[in-house]
Amino acid sequence: MPIYEYRCENCGHEMEAMQKMSDAPLSECPQCHKPSLVKLISAAGFRLKGTGWYQTDFKNSGGAKKDGEAKTETKKTEEKSASCGHGACSACS
């Protein structure tokens, strides 16, 4: 939902309100209770809510691996690093 900024032309009170785009603009100032609120033009602000949204855009970048797959790959990497790297020992073949 977008976050809109308002200013009261009567008392100068400024505020923000989270509203649906289809909602009517607010008009009554919560400070002086007069119908003199004006919606300000500002940078768009919004808040993502619900399942599937993450604050950092995406929870995982790339394909997610299961725990078993990650452990198997780690074990294979450790085995390769323990070898001599020249093909002369049993760990290299």
Contact 37, 22 (CB under 8 A): no
Give residue 18's region: left, alpha or beta (phi > 0; psi -120 to 50): beta
What confidence tens digit (pLDDT) does each residue in 9-61 have? 999 999 999 999 899 999 999 999 999 999 998 776 666 666 766 656 555 55
Of the candidates 34, 29, 22, 23, the residue with the CA atom closest to the CA atom of residue 6: 29
What confidence tens digit (pLDDT) does each residue in 62-77 have? 555 555 555 555 555 5
Residue-level pLDDT at 29: 96
Residue-level pLDDT at 3: 86
> Dihedral angle at the C-alpha atoms of 28, 32, 36, 37, nearest 10 degrees?
-60
Taking domain 1-46, whether its CATH number is 2.20.28 is answered by yes
Q: What residues does each domain of the chain span? A: 1-46
